[in-house]
Amino acid sequence: MKRRAELLLLLLFPLLCYDLYAQESLRTIILPKPDTVGGKPLMQALKERRTSRSFSDTKITDQVLSNLLWAAFGVNRPDGHRTAPSAMNWQEIDIYVATADGLFLFDAKTHSLKRLLDQDIRSQTGGQDFVGQAPVNLVYVADLRRVNPMSTDETNLYTAADCGFIAQNVYLYCASEGLSVVVRGSINRQELANVMNLHPKQRIILAQTVGYPK
């Protein structure tokens, strides 16, 4: 009986592994390769950079989302460095993406989105009315487990600065592509952290809403 059970387990093990792999694959979305050529000249993008709180509910295309996330904090060199600077190259800022389809974590190394939640939590990413209808809300989270030990003031300074660089990249990309965008600090951080299942060492810094103009 024991021998039969062992043989059955050997036969079923590959199927179980395949099922787990398939489930994980469904949780990961490989984004299109970012289009890094074109767009408006830098000076024109700077001239047109602005904040808007008026958004269409039209869904952003996968290609535009891919370009947006790469511009924000994608890998732009073979050594793994990114489009935005970070103190001591900590790369401690993670970008969470809240859409109508759920909550995702951007993985810059594989240029993919890992699905974390299936439910739509857009309205919980801020206190303004428009956040629940805009197609994309980015939530910037500092993972303090990647930060070298230092004073609280220094930690706050560097993580805030690193987040600001990313948010400005998003502003410039949106200016280049004619998208509406606003960076937001009005967030119930503890409530949102609970919804997102964040670790105690993960700190929500800012959020940013992106969409087509209304």
Find all residues with CB under 8 Å of 135, minimum gap 6, and list them. 55, 56, 57, 58, 59, 60, 99, 100, 210, 211, 212
DSSP annotation of 59 reads P
State whether 20 and 69 are in the same domain: no
State whether 89 and 154 are in the same domain: yes
State yes or no: pLDDT of 20 exceeds 50.
no
State whether 115 and 188 are in the same domain: yes
State whether 160 and 65 are in the same domain: yes
State yes or no: pLDDT of 14 exceeds 50.
no
pLDDT category of residue 21 using cuts at 50, 70 and 90:
very low
State whether 10 and 107 are in the same domain: no
State whether 89 and 186 are in the same domain: yes
State whether 17 and 118 are in the same domain: no
State whether 94 and 194 are in the same domain: yes
Give how many domains the chain has, as a whole number: 2
Q: Which of 123, 107, 125 is nearest to 115 (CA)?
A: 107
- Report the alpha-carbon distance of residue 36 to residue 34 in Å, rounded: 6
Per residue in 157-210, pLDDT (tens digit) is 999 999 999 999 999 999 999 999 999 999 999 999 999 999 999 999 999 999
pLDDT category of residue 5 using cuts at 50, 70 and 90:
low
Give the range of the structural domain holding residue 60, as residue numbers without chain letter: 31-211
166, 168, 171, 175: CA torsion to nearest 10: -120
State whether 127 and 146 are in the same domain: yes
Whole-prediction pTM value? 0.87
pLDDT of residue 16: 41
Per residue in 30-84, pLDDT (tens digit) is 999 999 998 999 999 999 999 999 999 999 999 999 999 999 999 999 999 999 9
State whether 126 and 165 are in the same domain: yes
Q: What mean pLDDT value characterizes the chain?
A: 91
Beta bridge partners of 183: 208
State whether 51 and 112 are in the same domain: yes
The backbone torsions φ and ψ at residue 105, rounded to the nearest 5 degrees and listed phi first, read: -110, 125
Q: Is the dihedral of CA 158, 164, 167, 169 positive or negative?
A: negative
For residue 73, how many other CB atoms are within 10 A of its CB? 26
pLDDT category of residue 27 using cuts at 50, 70 and 90:
confident
State whether 19 and 81 are in the same domain: no
CATH of the domain at 196: 3.40.109.10
- Report the alpha-carbon distance of residue 213 to residue 182 in Å, rounded: 12
